Amino acid sequence: MDSKKPDGFEVEKSDSAWQESLSPTQYKVLRCHGTEMPGSSPLNSEKRAGTFECAGCGAPLFLSETKFESGTGWPSFYEPMPDAVGTTEDRSHFMTRVEVHCQKCGGHLGHVFPDGPAPTGLRYCMNGAALQFDPRKQK
């Protein structure tokens, strides 16, 4: 399933509409490719069963069973839900990384690294400000 419209993402808003619908920190992370301070998200310690969703559009992104403690200070997952995220090359900060964005609204979520646990070996290092948690939604 391709969630993108021919001209962009399924959920599109003007910059001012994004600013009105998000907190300043969420706006900085999701729409301006910012990063929150490590250890600042309460979602780091979230252990309940449920679904981590995009704080911008509510799209389901990660199941709680894929979350693990990476020691980085950001919520980390080894696998997104099917068709939930997209990736692009990020060459900012004098390095090359793989940026992760919400497939539905294009919001910046974080980065993915090849140093995660089995079964994927990947670490989706996500900004907690880009996520919301719903304990009612499970697989």
Confidence (pLDDT) at 8: 77
Name, in order, each residue with C-beta under 8 angstroms of 75's C-beta and a sequence gap of 6 or more. Answer: 41, 43, 44, 46, 52, 67, 126, 128, 131
CA-wise closest residue to 2 among 91, 82, 73, 72: 82
* pLDDT (mean) for 3-25: 81
* Of 54, 102, 105, 125, catalytic: 125
Distance of alpha carbon 59 from alpha carbon 79, whole angstroms:
15
- Residue 125 known to be catalytic: yes
Mapped onto helix, strand or coil, the DSSP state of residue 39 is: coil
| CATH class for the region spanning 13-134 | mainly beta
The pLDDT tens digits for 60-102 are 999 999 999 999 999 999 999 999 999 988 777 666 779 999 9
Comparing C-alpha atoms, which of 127, 12, 105 is closest to residue 57?
Answer: 105
Question: What is the rounded distance in angstroms from the CA atom of residue 71 to the CA atom of residue 10?
Answer: 34
How many CB atoms neighbour CB 117 within 10 A? Answer: 14
Q: Encode pLDDT of 68-79 as tens digits.
A: 999 999 999 999
Count the Cβ atoms, other than its own, within 10 Å of residue 70: 19
Residue 116: pLDDT band (50, 70, 90) is very high
